[in-house]
Chains A and B, each alone.
Chain A
Amino acid sequence: MNAFPAGLAAVALVLLAGPSPLRAQRPATPAGAASATPAQTAGNVPLVPAQATWDSFHGQLNAQKYSPLTQITAANVQHLQKVWEFHTGDVSDGSGKVPATVWSATPIFANDTIYIGTPFYRLIALDPTTGKPKWSFDTHTPLKATTQPVLKNRGVAYWAAANPVPGAPCQKIVYMGTMDARLFALDADTGRKCAGFADDGVLDVNRWNNTPKKWPLSLLQPPTVVGDHLILGWAGKDWAYEHAPAGTVWSINARTGQREWTFEALTPEMRKHSGTANVWTQMSADPTLGLVYLPVSSPSPNFWGGNRTEDAPYATSTTALDVATGKVVWSRQWVHHDVWDYDVDSAPTLVDITVDGKPIPALIQATKMGFLFVVNRKTGEDVWPIEERPVPGGDGSVKGEHLSPTQPFPTLPRPLLDQSRKPEVWPLADAVGAGQCSRLWNKLAYRGMYTPPTTRGEGTLAFPDSAGAVQWGGVAFDPVSQTAVVNTSRLVQYVKLYDREAYEKADKGSGNESGFAPQIGAPYGMRLEVARNWLGMPCWKPPFGELVALDMHTGLVKWRRPVGASQQYGFFMPERWGSPTIGGPAITAGGVIFIGASMDAKVRAYALATGKELWSDQAQAPAVANPAVYEYKGREYVAFVAGGNTILKDQVGDQIVVYALPEN
């Protein structure tokens, strides 16, 4: 069947479905609204902590990545000096027996200590002024890439008892997960295991692996600590299977390791033949509302959905749970019937904003698609209209697929990328490739955002696809000026499905998040690539990454600029071309944005007001985690972890580097 009539038919169906094709989506709420009312038991906890806080992956539970510290300002940041650096030694480039390391851990500051987890699954406590180790703990996790192609770690979590027992151990605990799905609980003062937590300080969550048990889980993201609850998701193996463990999030008692509740993202029926829709990234929480916000990923397999024709409203969503019970209070699905691997990959940023003079408790959800969805975090309702718009149908080449005729599009803020039309070929890359890019472009299907995967030609162009316009660094927010700041990647990828016979012939292996993947059990394997010429140059026009500031009173862009610089074979490209980014920003009340994230492995400071670059320094590898900002003994510090990520570049590191202004 010709593809276009199918697309027109889908549009016609939408037009017939309601009075307007631009219908606003309503938040999904579970049956029994009474049970879905959150227990507001935590009292009135300010959304923005009064004290400078950086004791979790995104700094604060609200995921604002905001520090109220003002010692470092836009006027003096150029005087920053490196005050210490520490090398963990836990690094591998993958050339030997140990898989490559990907280290995206934000250092956390708590208990007058810097805590960090490593991709060799060691936990290290450091002096915040000198970087000297206070203690370290080795989980002795086998250095094997089981669920991931590389060894990954995104850090640690911290909990402190509200009413500590004097002299008793484990009144302050640091937690870290491992590739083999064990959660370790260590006394924050001594680094000794907390015997009262699970099995002598270790909780093996593979015991709760629901379906099917033979596929293991990993704990790469630290739990989100809300009061005495550890809210814990997991990571699994992407793109490998049609049938995989189904997404679950657990609440675990911070003291005992006992499981308190389980959230299941998929229905029991769907769990029989699909899986994932897990939460592999950080969550955010509003203790006053008693809500924890889950960024839920897509179901398996990632690029074919013929096995999941049922409604799966919590997949690729932001879902708000009552932190006390785990019951769904509201949920918004950002991609219906996701066949693009558009996992919601960052914690929603919780913000109090004023729109048209009206204060709104809001939430900003960044997405891989380059959309920022802004909703009321109490109810899930739109702040600015989010419209259901018709999207292209399939071309008829993929058997059994049931695509959604519409997808949600935010009206404000405008998309961070212009996905409405096929990106233009970059003449320079095309010339260097002797027309290679143009030829590729002509073989790629693209009928706008959400063009589904195909078996034809070289596949479907996706701008962006799995690599994502925004990754787990998410959105930072200045609550004073109500400015949101987010780094983006502008990457063109293309995905092709292969029927089984064709796949067996075509499969040439895979890299980290690229190449061939079998989707075992599904009728199609797949291949996902970045569109590049023979020299590795991107086939599309720069910039390849940007830093964007938005006025959240209006949802409009304040400024945008290329961020960082791309680097290939050591050669730096012009900064006006920008760089793809992994990692995220931090904002301070001194009017400074700190960010690493770029290919050139530099860490930078930008002016919050204008976007002007103010300072930079060279790190060992791309700093693919959010920076941490902390104060100790009257001095403000900025800490970066330079660990690298092979998705961005084959450059890995084991460096924590900390900067401050000169003492005099």
Chain B
Amino acid sequence: MPMAPLRSFPTGVFVLLASAVAGLVLALYAYFTPLTGVTGTPGALAVIVACAVLAVLALTQRVAVKHTARATLRVAIVLLLLAICFAALLLHRWWICVAMGVGLAGVVVDMIRPASTGNGARA
């Protein structure tokens, strides 16, 4: 996949990345802190992994050049956001779901104001 220079983050990608990191931190807290109700559970672990994957996809989106690749990534990201939110609801981790909502807004922003992929300029 052609790579773009990592000079800056477009707003949408930044928001998405921030939401993935926020979800990751919240899921790590839920997994490791006693008495969260999901301490040490496979479900919380799955959300940790999913948030990490989401962060990687967000970064990949930043450097993806081809339109089809970006579109495919966006679909995967949206599906992952929804899946994480659903899982977080079942884990009673409402704030993770809120973070995914913010991430979804980031995707929308990125669609409206896409990053300039040829020279890495801010969209």
Interface residues of A (CB under 8 A from B): 569-573, 600-602, 618-620
Please state if A618 and B37 are interface contacts (CB–CB under 8 Å). yes
**What residues on A are CB-neighbors of B92 within 8 Å?**
572
Residue of A whose beta carbon sits closest to that of B37: A618
Please state if B34 and A570 are interface contacts (CB–CB under 8 Å). no
Residue of B whose beta carbon sits closest to that of A602: B37
**What residues on A are CB-neighbors of B35 within 8 Å?**
618-620
Please state if B90 and A572 are interface contacts (CB–CB under 8 Å). yes
Task: Determine how close the nearest CB of chain B comes to the CB of A564; give it in whole angstroms.
Answer: 12
Q: Is B43 an interface residue (CB 8 A)?
A: yes
Please state if A572 and B34 are interface contacts (CB–CB under 8 Å). no
Identify A601's interface contact among B37, B87, B91, CB under 8 A.
Answer: B37
Q: Is B26 an interface residue (CB 8 A)?
A: no
Residue of A whose beta carbon sits closest to that of B36: A618
**What residues on B are CB-neighbors of A572 within 8 Å?**
37, 90-92
Report the bound CA distance from A573 to B92 in whole Å: 10
**What residues on B are CB-neighbors of A573 within 8 Å?**
90
Task: Determine how close the nearest CB of chain A comes to the CB of B84; give it in whole angstroms.
Answer: 13
**What residues on B are CB-neighbors of A602 within 8 Å?**
37
Query: In B33-74, which residues have CB < 8 Å from any A CB?
Result: 34-38, 41-44, 46
Please state if B37 and A569 are interface contacts (CB–CB under 8 Å). no
Report the bound CA distance from A244 to B11 in whole Å: 74
Q: List 14 A-B contacts (CB under 8 A).
A: A569-B43, A570-B37, A570-B42, A570-B43, A570-B44, A570-B91, A571-B43, A572-B37, A572-B92, A573-B90, A600-B37, A601-B37, A618-B37, A620-B34
Counting from the closest, the 8 A-B pairs by CB-CB distance are A570-B41, A570-B43, A571-B90, A570-B38, A569-B42, A569-B43, A618-B37, A571-B43
Residue of B whose beta carbon sits closest to that of A573: B90
**What residues on A are CB-neighbors of B41 within 8 Å?**
569-570
Please state if B87 and A571 are interface contacts (CB–CB under 8 Å). yes
Residue of A whose beta carbon sits closest to that of B90: A571
**What residues on A are CB-neighbors of B36 within 8 Å?**
618
**What residues on B are CB-neighbors of A601 within 8 Å?**
37
Residue of B whose beta carbon sits closest to that of A82: B35
Report the bound CA distance from A94 to B90 in whole Å: 27
Q: Looking at chain B's contact residues, is the secondary structure mostly helix, strand, loop, or mixed?
A: loop
**What residues on B are CB-neighbors of A571 within 8 Å?**
43, 87, 90-91
Residue of A whose beta carbon sits closest to that of B44: A570
Report the bound CA distance from A571 to B87 in whole Å: 7
Report the bound CA distance from A571 to B89 in whole Å: 8
Report the bound CA distance from A172 to B113 in whole Å: 78
Report the bound CA distance from A573 to B87 in whole Å: 11
Interface residues of B (CB under 8 A from A): 34-38, 41-44, 46, 87, 90-92
Task: Determine how close the nearest CB of chain B comes to the CB of A619; give it in whole angstroms.
Answer: 7
Which among A570, A600, A602 has the highest number of chain B CB atoms within 10 Å? Answer: A570
Report the bound CA distance from A619 to B90 in whole Å: 18
**What residues on A are CB-neighbors of B38 within 8 Å?**
570
Task: Determine how close the nearest CB of chain B comes to the CB of A217; give it in whole angstroms.
Answer: 36
Task: Determine how close the nearest CB of chain A comes to the CB of B83; give it in whole angstroms.
Answer: 13
Task: Determine how close the nearest CB of chain B comes to the CB of A648; give it in whole angstroms.
Answer: 15
Report the bound CA distance from A601 to B37 in whole Å: 7
**What residues on A are CB-neighbors of B91 within 8 Å?**
570-572
Task: Determine how close the nearest CB of chain B comes to the CB of A650; give it in whole angstroms.
Answer: 10
Which among A571, A572, A602, A619 has the highest number of chain B CB atoms within 10 Å? Answer: A571
Q: What 13 additional pairs, Cβ within 8 angstroms, besides A602-B37, A619-B35?
A: A569-B41, A569-B43, A569-B46, A570-B41, A570-B42, A570-B91, A571-B43, A571-B87, A571-B91, A572-B90, A572-B92, A600-B37, A620-B35
**What residues on A are CB-neighbors of B90 within 8 Å?**
571-573
Task: Determine how close the nearest CB of chain A comes to the CB of B38; give it in whole angstroms.
Answer: 4
Residue of B whose beta carbon sits closest to that of A619: B35
Task: Determine how close the nearest CB of chain B comes to the CB of A67; give it in whole angstroms.
Answer: 26
**What residues on B are CB-neighbors of A618 within 8 Å?**
35-37
Which among B36, B37, B46 has the highest number of chain A CB atoms within 10 Å? Answer: B37
**What residues on A are CB-neighbors of B46 within 8 Å?**
569
Report the bound CA distance from A569 to B37 in whole Å: 11
Report the bound CA distance from A573 to B91 in whole Å: 9
Report the bound CA distance from A618 to B37 in whole Å: 6
Report the bound CA distance from A601 to B36 in whole Å: 10
Task: Determine how close the nearest CB of chain B comes to the CB of A181; give it in whole angstroms.
Answer: 35
**What residues on B are CB-neighbors of A569 within 8 Å?**
41-43, 46
**What residues on A are CB-neighbors of B37 within 8 Å?**
570, 572, 600-602, 618
Report the bound CA distance from A600 to B46 in whole Å: 19
Report the bound CA distance from A572 to B38 in whole Å: 9
Report the bound CA distance from A440 to B34 in whole Å: 39
Residue of A whose beta carbon sits closest to that of B38: A570
Report the bound CA distance from A601 to B91 in whole Å: 13
**What residues on A are CB-neighbors of B87 within 8 Å?**
571
Which among B41, B44, B87 has the highest number of chain A CB atoms within 10 Å? Answer: B41
Residue of A whose beta carbon sits closest to that of B41: A570
Residue of A whose beta carbon sits closest to that of B34: A620
Report the bound CA distance from A572 to B94 in whole Å: 12
Report the bound CA distance from A618 to B35 in whole Å: 6
Report the bound CA distance from A572 to B36 in whole Å: 12
Report the bound CA distance from A40 to B38 in whole Å: 53
Task: Determine how close the nearest CB of chain B comes to the CB of A309; give it in whole angstroms.
Answer: 49
**What residues on B are CB-neighbors of A600 within 8 Å?**
37
Residue of A whose beta carbon sits closest to that of B92: A572
Report the bound CA distance from A619 to B34 in whole Å: 9
Task: Determine how close the nearest CB of chain B comes to the CB of A412; give it in whole angstroms.
Answer: 39
Task: Determine how close the nearest CB of chain A comes to the CB of B91; give it in whole angstroms.
Answer: 6
Task: Determine how close the nearest CB of chain A comes to the CB of B116; give it in whole angstroms.
Answer: 41
Report the bound CA distance from A600 to B37 in whole Å: 7
Task: Determine how close the nearest CB of chain A comes to the CB of B47; give it in whole angstroms.
Answer: 9
Report the bound CA distance from A570 to B96 in whole Å: 15
Report the bound CA distance from A370 to B109 in whole Å: 57
Residue of B whose beta carbon sits closest to that of A617: B35
**What residues on B are CB-neighbors of A570 within 8 Å?**
37-38, 41-44, 91
Task: Determine how close the nearest CB of chain B comes to the CB of A14; give it in whole angstroms.
Answer: 50
Report the bound CA distance from A572 to B43 in whole Å: 10
Residue of A whose beta carbon sits closest to that of B40: A570
Task: Determine how close the nearest CB of chain A comes to the CB of B35; give it in whole angstroms.
Answer: 5
Residue of B whose beta carbon sits closest to that of A601: B37
Task: Determine how close the nearest CB of chain A comes to the CB of B120; give it in whole angstroms.
Answer: 40
Report the bound CA distance from A601 to B39 in whole Å: 11
Task: Determine how close the nearest CB of chain A comes to the CB of B42; give it in whole angstroms.
Answer: 4
Report the bound CA distance from A632 to B67 in whole Å: 71
Task: Determine how close the nearest CB of chain A comes to the CB of B64; give it in whole angstroms.
Answer: 33
Task: Determine how close the nearest CB of chain B comes to the CB of A644; give it in whole angstroms.
Answer: 13
